[in-house]
A and B are shown apart, each in its own frame.
Chain A
Amino acid sequence: MSQFNIDKGIKSSENVKGQSWRSINILKWPSWERWAAVLAGLLVWTACARLGLVASPYIFGLKFMNLLIIGDPVYNLTLLQIMGTSLETLLIGAGLAFALAVSSGILLGYFRSLNRFADVFISICRPIPPLAWIPVGYVLFAQLPQPTFWVQIMVVFMGAFFPCFNATVHTVQSTDPIIIEAAQTLGARRQRQILAQVILPSAVPGIISGVRSGLGVGWMCIIGAEFVGARMGIGAYIWSLYQLGGRMSEIMIAILSVGLIGYLMNEIVILLGRRIARWYSW
């Protein structure tokens, strides 16, 4: 049975190259259902705008282009520049988290006893919402020159670490025994060989999906963390807009851009994953 499962995951080599680009959602011509959804959405939106509930799509689009090209008059920065600060924090925090999560995940996935030992700590820390670490961070980093920056890094780290860590541990633990046996049959004798040449490559797709969910959670956390005491970034911008008042469209634009950036990041990671693990059926 498991023999068949593996076969399904492996594709013939001539398909692999083209496939890796062809099935990227963002580059595909949208299906007619998608067009219909967009049109229906616009219709409902326009209807609501007519009733005076929300700004009309035209004004919304105008404001969006304005924010993108000219920028916000109060911040004197464009939307992408504001977003850049948040992305920077996200990449630093999540980068650190992934480095630690993947390495420790492989260790704990491979050495079962180590896993049983650390399990208590991980099980307790994992369900803690990352934003709950904010006060702890401010106490810890109070002496540093820019405590807010480090608190944000820490919150993103906490958010990005566990999804990636869990995925790594799980994927290493669930390496198919058949491929390990096959490697042994083909002459792999040392544990090191098995780990480096069998388990690690087979774990790559799992790790990448861990990175995807880690980035997603980290991105959510940074917006929340910036509401508290941050001076820059898209979260702080949204909060400032709210405090200035009367800027509902801009707030919605900023929120939707957060969603859009999250979506793009997800697509980029999938894209990279396809390039790295071509054998896997994505």
Chain B
Amino acid sequence: MRLRGKRQFLLIFILMIFSLLSGCSDQKQTAQKDVIYYIQTNPASMLAQLKTGEIDAFVAWEPFNAQSVIEGNGRYLTQSGEIAPEHPCCILAITKTEADNELALALAWANVKAINFINNKNNREKVIKYAMDFTGKDQKSVVEAFNHTKYVSFPDFDQFNAFLENMSKNGTLVKTPQSLGYQDNQVFIKEFLDNKYVTRINTELNNDASWVPAAINGKLQVTLGYINQDLHHLPMYIAQQEGYYEAIGLKSAQNLQLKGFANGVAVMEAFKANELRASYLGGAPALLKRLNDNVPIYAIAGVNNEGSAIVAAKNSSVKSVKDLNGKTVAIPGLGSVQSYILDQAARQSNLRLQAK
């Protein structure tokens, strides 16, 4: 009988230690209840969940934000540009494994041409039509989405550095450029963002607007990735429709294969598995996997700045990011540009993100 009591006591003691360990942190978190809960889901489901009230807000890429606003279920709470002005969003990245200067130059050229096409006011109607075809959204949503997206041919170095620093701070980045053998962040970013192609293309195009780089070897098979229904990746679609890829010797269904992905993290998985030569994707996942998993890619061109937003339910009481305290917000995935934006927004309002 005495023996049994001792055993029982020991068991209870072990359980107490366990509950104490978890209990401490429990209290800590209930005390400082300043958290925004996040869930991970794809943008299409976000619209439905916002409508049913399952989530209070979401962060997505255009045109999903605009679609929600136009359909009358959501309203813009904050544009990503208000949280991190001129933050880089999508980039065109290429694998670093082979000597592929020709391919990099050609793809960057097609990208620059497409961005110039978009930014040319005369092409407005054509661009809107292309955008509707590419994203499958109606005209109103697309026009609204264009108001919040800036197409640029190269991302800003300093902004990328801010990306790097903030992602180290919030714990998404576990490796540093130093651990990969770089001298410091600046050296790493200079190498990661390779602007020599875009610089050359811009000088050539200034001299002669009809300049085309040498066509690439016809036997080279190129798989080019992009994210489904992401208006940021419109340059890819326009380059294809306007024949820019053909001009550099890439013919669809012959030596060019376009592949759509659900999000940037999925693109990086494909890069890791050697299934992609080049892809459009968000700067944050590219940076994340470049460092954390040492996936050998680098950016040869930019696509857009800003173009994400926090969208709240139309009739909710949420008036600012501060009001999101204790609410649930959907993001496309950890490590995406959108999760970075939400994290920054939360930090600026002295809130923290917590998984739900």
| Chain A residues proximal to chain B, CB less than 8 Å | 17-18, 21-22, 24, 27, 68-78, 80-82, 145-146, 231-232, 237, 240, 243-247
* Given known contacts A17-B4, A81-B26, A245-B289, A232 and B356 CB-to-CB distance under 8 angstroms: yes
The chain B residue with its CB closest to the CB of A247 is B174
Give every chain A residue within 8 A of B25 (Cβ-Cβ): 69-71, 78, 81
Closest chain B CB from A42 CB (angstroms): 22
A24-B7, A245-B292, A245-B293 given; 19 more Cβ-contact pairs under 8 Å: A17-B1, A18-B1, A18-B4, A21-B3, A21-B8, A22-B7, A69-B25, A72-B171, A73-B171, A74-B355, A76-B354, A80-B18, A231-B39, A231-B355, A232-B355, A243-B335, A245-B268, A246-B175, A246-B292
Closest chain A CB from B338 CB (angstroms): 14
Please measure, in the bound complex, the distance between the C-alpha atom of A18 and the C-alpha atom of B4, giving whole angstroms.
6
* Given known contacts A74-B172, A243-B335, A21 and B289 CB-to-CB distance under 8 angstroms: no
Quick check: A246 and B40 within 8 Å, CB to CB? Answer: no
Please measure, in the bound complex, the distance between the C-alpha atom of A232 and the C-alpha atom of B355, giving whole angstroms.
7
Quick check: A81 and B22 within 8 Å, CB to CB? Answer: yes
Quick check: A76 and B352 within 8 Å, CB to CB? Answer: yes
| B311 interfacial contact with A, CB 8 Å | no
Closest chain B CB from A21 CB (angstroms): 4
CB < 8 Å A-B pair total: 86
Please measure, in the bound complex, the distance between the C-alpha atom of A216 and the C-alpha atom of B289, giving whole angstroms.
35
| B101 interfacial contact with A, CB 8 Å | no
Quick check: B292 and A247 within 8 Å, CB to CB? Answer: yes
Closest chain A CB from B332 CB (angstroms): 12
Please measure, in the bound complex, the distance between the C-alpha atom of A243 and the C-alpha atom of B41, giving whole angstroms.
14
Give every chain B residue within 8 A of A21 (Cβ-Cβ): 3-4, 7-8
Interface residue from B21, B52, B334 paired with A145 (Cβ < 8 Å)? B52
Please measure, in the bound complex, the distance between the C-alpha atom of A70 and the C-alpha atom of B268, giving whole angstroms.
30
* Given known contacts A27-B11, A75-B355, A76-B354, A246 and B174 CB-to-CB distance under 8 angstroms: yes
**A-B pairs with beta carbons under 8 Å apart, 11 shown:** A27-B10, A27-B11, A69-B25, A73-B171, A77-B354, A80-B18, A82-B355, A231-B355, A240-B40, A243-B265, A247-B292
